């Protein structure tokens, strides 16, 4: 029998049971949709984070506590305690790091920010006064704190636009007193609405001198991170070496393998972030792919039911001259057709939901979240759908092809 006739018969069989066919492909649709959505969001997140890193400039270095191990663990090192005041003083000495242009110590936490009877759960960033220049921040109202404020451990704070709205509404926050834990801070400036991202969302944060945050709010003796800007891009590698030598001397380390700090260039940071986001995206995609396996089992079960219900049809076709190969091809094509339709619908809905998610995330983060269509995931989705159709459809199709025509015609 010609393949065109086999296809026509297969499609006629599927049309005769539209509801069952629709339910059969549902698992495939959900699986492919989930994979497209996860991979698209993962790619968008990676693009956003890497864009933020690039915006800091190639002359920027970060120094984090903890031993550099690579991958996700490096991103958790900011919570370790090996960077102290003595390290800050040592790095700021020109003799130790001659090409260091600017240095910003950072401490941070999440906590309730209170004003009278209002409270908002935001982020608290302790930093030096140079952070505003470094990140091109300008006040919407008021004035940023100064180097003198940092040295004096002044009780001042710059608040983000969301914090200002939640705590003060339409009132002017400048000069008002807010409280974080047991520390009262005077608002000296409000930031305009600025795109938020994964590194730090200024809209939902307050910024206070690191001396104030470290000693009076957090009560800790260490820093979470140092941000360093080198005077010239050509001096980046030399500065990395100077920082390593300085911190090893400060910590009494003679073996580089025992470093309890990590100096990262923009290239290193982008590589680490890229590795982490890729691994997480693949992991989530694999979890989503489990639904494809469930969908494949569902297709096999439905095909067995279809074979049983159409036993007389199989017997009649064989009595009229259809071969075992014709019957096998018919039911195998039905399985492949169902999974391919499910794959295409999954790609459509996955793309649609990914686009909607990109719009929603852009609004929620006050940033530009780029929609990314994962061509590789879509291609693998189609190939996987066909593969599932073949694997889970071959046995029911084979069972149908082996039915005895006489017994099939007698089947009730």
The model's pLDDT over 387-411, given as tens digits with 9 standing for 90+, comes to: 777 777 776 666 766 666 655 555 4
pLDDT tens-digit series, residues 328-340: 777 777 778 888 8
Q: Is the pLDDT of residue 294 over 90?
A: no
* Domain-terminating residue out of 236, 266, 296: 266
Q: What is the mean pLDDT of residues 103-112?
A: 93
* End position of a domain, from candidates 233, 266, 299: 266
- Identify whether residues 208 and 115 lie together within a single domain: yes
Alpha-carbon distance of 292 to 377, in angstroms, equals: 14
- The predicted-structure confidence for 7-34, as pLDDT tens digits, reads as follows 676 666 666 667 777 777 787 888 888 8
- Which domain-ending residue is among 238, 266, 294? 266
Neighbours of 380 (CB within 10 A): 18
**61, 38: one domain:** no
Q: Say if residue 182 is in the same domain as residue 138.
A: yes
Question: Whole-model pTM?
Answer: 0.60
Q: Residue 171 and residue 164: Cα distance in Å, rounded? A: 9
- What are the b/e assignments for 290-313, b being 16+ CB within 10 Å? ebbeebbebbbebbeebbeebbeb
* Strand duo 225-230 + 60-65: pairing: antiparallel
Supply the DSSP string of 39-68, one letter for each residue.
HHHHHHHHHHHHHHHHHT-TTEEEEEES--
Q: Same structural domain for residues 275 and 164? A: no
Among 411, 237, 401, residue whose Cα is nearest residue 332? 401
Helix (H, G, I), strand (E, B), or coil: what is residue 279?
A: helix
Are 224 and 281 in a shared domain?
no
For residue 318, the model assigns a pLDDT of 66
Please give the backbone phi and psi of residue 65, each rounded to the nearest 5 degrees, phi first: -75, 160
> Which of 71-75, 294-298, 329-333 shows the lowest per-residue confidence on average (mean pLDDT)?
71-75
Look at strands 261-264 and 183-190 and give their pairing. unpaired
More confident residue, 15 or 173: 173
Domain that holds residue 27: 3-52+271-410
Count CB neighbours of 331 within 10 A. Answer: 26
Are 284 and 157 found together in one domain? no
Q: What is the mean pLDDT of the chain?
A: 80
Provide the domain count of the chain: 2
Co-location of 258 and 322 in the same domain? no
- Residues 131-154 pLDDT 10s: 988 888 889 999 999 999 999 999
Domain match, 189 and 64 both = yes
Q: Where are the alpha helices (DSSP H) in 56-200?
A: 72-76, 85-91, 131-134, 147-151, 161-168
> What are 70's two structure tokens?
């690579």
Which three-class secondary structure state does DSSP give residue 109? Answer: strand
Same domain, 327 and 405: yes
Q: Are 303 and 393 in contact (CB under 8 A)?
A: yes
Do 256 and 275 fall into the same domain?
no
Closest CA to 160 of 145, 149, 147, 173: 173
* 140, 194 Cβ separation under 8 angstroms: no
Residue with tokens 């082996």: 402
Asked whether residue 145 falls in the same domain as residue 294, the answer is no
Using CB atoms within 10 Å of the CB of residue 95, give its burial: 0 to 12 exposed, 13 to 18 middle, 19+ buried: exposed
* Residue 291 and residue 247 share a domain: no
Six-digit token pair at 340?
Answer: 């391919």
- Map residue 129 onto helix, strand or coil: coil
Q: Are 36 and 292 in contact (CB under 8 A)?
A: no
């Amino acid at each position: 029998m010609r393949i065109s006739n086999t296809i026509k018969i297969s499609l006629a069989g599927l049309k005769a049971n539209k509801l069952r066919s629709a339910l059969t492909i549902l698992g495939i649709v959900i699986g492919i949709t989930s994979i497209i959505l996860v991979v698209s969001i993962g790619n968008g997140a990676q693009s956003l984070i890497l864009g933020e890193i690039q915006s800091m400039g190639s002359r920027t270095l970060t120094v984090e506590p903890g031993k550099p191990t690579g991958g996700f663990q490096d991103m958790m090192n900011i919570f370790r305690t090996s960077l102290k005041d003595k390290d800050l003083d040592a790095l700021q000495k020109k003799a130790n790091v001659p090409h260091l242009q600017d240095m910003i110590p950072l401490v941070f936490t999440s906590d309730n920010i209170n004003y009278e009877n209002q409270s908002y759960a935001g982020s608290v960033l302790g930093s030096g006064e140079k952070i505003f220049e470094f990140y091109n921040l300008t006040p919407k109202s008021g004035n940023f704190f100064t180097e003198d404020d940092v040295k004096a451990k002044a009780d001042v704070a710059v608040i983000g636009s969301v914090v200002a709205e939640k705590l003060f509404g339409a009132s002017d926050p400048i000069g008002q007193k807010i409280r974080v834990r047991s520390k009262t801070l005077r608002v000296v400036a409000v930031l305009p609405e600025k795109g938020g991202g994964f590194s730090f969302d200024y809209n939902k944060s307050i910024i206070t001198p690191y001396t104030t945050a470290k000693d009076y709010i957090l009560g800790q003796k260490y820093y979470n991170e140092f941000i360093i800007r080198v005077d010239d891009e050509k001096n980046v590698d030399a500065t990395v070496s100077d920082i390593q030598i300085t911190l090893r001397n400060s910590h009494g380390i003679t073996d580089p393998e025992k470093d309890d700090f990590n100096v990262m260039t923009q290239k290193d940071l982008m590589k680490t972030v890229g590795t982490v986001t890729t691994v997480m995206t693949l992991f989530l995609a694999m979890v989503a792919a489990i639904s494809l396996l469930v969908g494949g089992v569902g297709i096999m079960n439905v095909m067995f039911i279809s074979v049983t219900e159409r036993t007389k049809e199989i017997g009649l076709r064989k009595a009229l001259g259809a071969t075992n190969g014709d019957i096998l091809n018919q039911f195998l094509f039905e399985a492949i057709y169902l999974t391919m339709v499910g794959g295409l619908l999954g790609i459509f809905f996955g793309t649609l939901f990914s686009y909607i998610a990109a719009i929603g995330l852009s609004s929620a983060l006050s940033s530009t979240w780029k929609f990314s269509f994962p061509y590789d995931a879509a291609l693998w989705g189609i190939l996987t759908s066909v593969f599932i159709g073949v694997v889970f459809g071959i046995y029911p199709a084979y069972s149908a092809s082996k039915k005895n025509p006489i017994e099939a015609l007698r089947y009730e």
